[in-house]
Structure 1
Amino acid sequence: MTWFVDYKLDSTISVADRGLAYGDGVFETILATPKALVQLDDHLSRLYRGLSKLGMPFSLEQKIKLKDFLASRVRPLIHEKTVVKLIVSRGEGGRGYLAPEHCIHTVIIGILAAPDYQYHQNKGVSLSVSPVPAGCNRYLAGIKHLNRLENVVAKRFLSSADFEALMLNNQQELVECIQSNVFWFWRGTLYTPALHKAGVQGTFRKAIIEQQSRHLIQVGRYFISDLLKADEVFIANSLMGIVPVKSVAGRSFPIGSHTRKLQLLMHDKEMHGSH
Structure 2
Amino acid sequence: MTWFVNYHLNSSISVTDRGLSYGDGVFETIRTTPSHFFQLNDHLARLYHGLDKLGMPFSIEQKSTLQCFLHENVLATVHCDSVVKIIVTRGEGGRGYAPPESALHTVIIGVSKAPNYQAQQQEGVRLSISPVPVNANPYLAGIKHLNRLENITAKRLLNDADFEAVMLFDSEVVECIQSNIFWFQNAKLFTPSLEKAGVQGTYRQALIEQQTLYPVHVGHFSLQDLKLADEVFITNSLMSVVPVTNVAGQSYPIGHHTRILQNCMLDKDLDDAS
Using the size of structure 1 for normalisation, the TM-score is 0.98
Tell me the amino acid that sits aligned with residue 267 of structure 1. L
Residue 274 of structure 1 and its aligned partner are, at CA, apart by 2.4
Q: For residue 136 of structure 1, what is the aligned residue in structure 2?
A: 136
Q: For residue 100 of structure 1, what is the aligned residue in structure 2?
A: 100
Q: Distance in 2 between matches of 1:66 and 1:156?
A: 33
Q: Distance in 2 between matches of 1:227 and 1:30?
A: 29
Contact 1:36 1:273 in 2 (8 A): no
Q: Which consecutive unaligned segments of at least 5 residues does structure 1 have? A: none
Q: Does 1:192 align with 2:215?
A: no
Q: For residue 255 of structure 2, what is the aligned residue in structure 1?
A: 256
Q: Distance in 2 between matches of 1:77 and 1:86?
A: 15
Q: For residue 205 of structure 1, what is the aligned residue in structure 2?
A: 204
Q: Which consecutive unaligned segments of at least 5 residues does structure 2 have? A: none
Q: For residue 6 of structure 1, what is the aligned residue in structure 2?
A: 6
Contact 2:190 2:216 in 1 (8 A): yes
1:185-206 C-alpha deviation (Å, 9 max, x unpaired): 0001100000000000000001
Q: Distance in 1 between matches of 2:225 and 2:106?
A: 43
Residue 269 of structure 1 and its aligned partner are, at CA, apart by 2.2
Q: Distance in 2 between matches of 1:34 and 1:191?
A: 35
1:119-146 C-alpha deviation (Å, 9 max, x unpaired): 0000000000000000110010000000
Q: Distance in 1 between matches of 2:58 and 2:122?
A: 40
Q: Distance in 2 between matches of 1:5 and 1:85?
A: 12
1:7-56 C-alpha deviation (Å, 9 max, x unpaired): 00000000000000000000000000123110000000000000010000
Q: Distance in 1 between matches of 2:60 and 2:6?
A: 17
Contact 1:35 1:273 in 2 (8 A): no
Q: CA RMSD in A?
A: 0.9
Find the residue that maps to 2:217 and give its secondary structure.
Answer: strand
Tell me the amino acid that sits aligned with residue 67 of structure 1. Q
Residue 273 of structure 1 and its aligned partner are, at CA, apart by 5.1
Find the residue that maps to 1:57 and give its secondary structure.
Answer: coil
Find the residue that maps to 2:41 and give its secondary structure.
Answer: helix
Give the stretch that moved more between structures: 74-83 or 50-59: 74-83
Aligned length: 274
Using the size of structure 2 for normalisation, the TM-score is 0.98
Q: For residue 58 of structure 1, what is the aligned residue in structure 2?
A: 58
Q: Does 1:150 align with 2:157?
A: no
Contact 1:3 1:110 in 2 (8 A): yes
Q: For residue 225 of structure 2, what is the aligned residue in structure 1?
A: 226
Residue 271 of structure 1 and its aligned partner are, at CA, apart by 3.1
